[in-house]
Amino acid sequence: MARPSSPTPTPSEQAILEVLWDRGEASVREVADALSQHKPVAYTTVLTTFNVLAKKGFVTHRQEGRAFVYRAAISREQARRQALDQLLLRFFEGSPNLLAQHLLDQDEVGRDQLKALRAKVEAAKQRGNG
């Protein structure tokens, strides 16, 4: 049985999106070359992953000669938001409050970090978000 498609980019999909976000647009060859600087990757693997990204609506493409040139259809911020929403739903009952409490309980939070968090909470209150 086939694994269901992830609603957020997988790590390999995100690696491709990172190249596109940095460059604006790129061909399969250009992305494969960029990814191969860190770890060997086959051209056909990158091509297959681009097809999955296109089906998910994460990339668009145009034809330039015989090659397709791809562009990200979602921003980094949109990808972060989707990933965070999935994390909240899967592990924190959809509650940002539970996530924040978990982070504060699990991590050592310094005085400066707490001060910055308080400032963000106050700013959100003033905007009517809290």
Residue tagged 């959100």 (tokens): 124
Which range marks the domain in which residue 30 is found?
A: 11-72
How high is the pLDDT of residue 105? 83
Residues 6+ apart with CB under 8 A from 71: 20, 24, 25, 59, 60, 61, 62
In the DSSP assignment, the letter for residue 8 is S
Region label for 4, one of left (φ > 0), alpha (ψ between -120 and 50) or beta (otherwise): beta
| Cβ neighbour number for residue 19 with a 10 Å cutoff | 20
Is 63 found in the same domain as 115? no
Query: For the chain, what is the domain count?
Result: 2
How high is the pLDDT of residue 6? 82
In-domain check, residue 88: no
Type and span of the H or E element at 88 = helix 76-91
Which of the listed residues 53, 72, 91 is the one where a domain comes to its end? 72
Is 110 found in the same domain as 65? no
Q: What is the pLDDT along the chain (130 residues), one digit of tens a residue?
A: 666 778 889 999 999 999 999 999 999 999 999 999 999 999 999 999 999 999 999 999 999 999 999 999 999 999 999 999 999 999 999 888 888 888 888 777 788 888 888 898 889 888 886 5
In-domain check, residue 63: yes
CATH number (domain holding residue 68): 1.10.10.10
Is 16 found in the same domain as 62? yes
- Specify the pTM: 0.79
In-domain check, residue 90: no
Is 67 found in the same domain as 15? yes
Is 112 found in the same domain as 65? no
How high is the pLDDT of residue 93? 92
How high is the pLDDT of residue 54? 96
Is 107 found in the same domain as 65? no
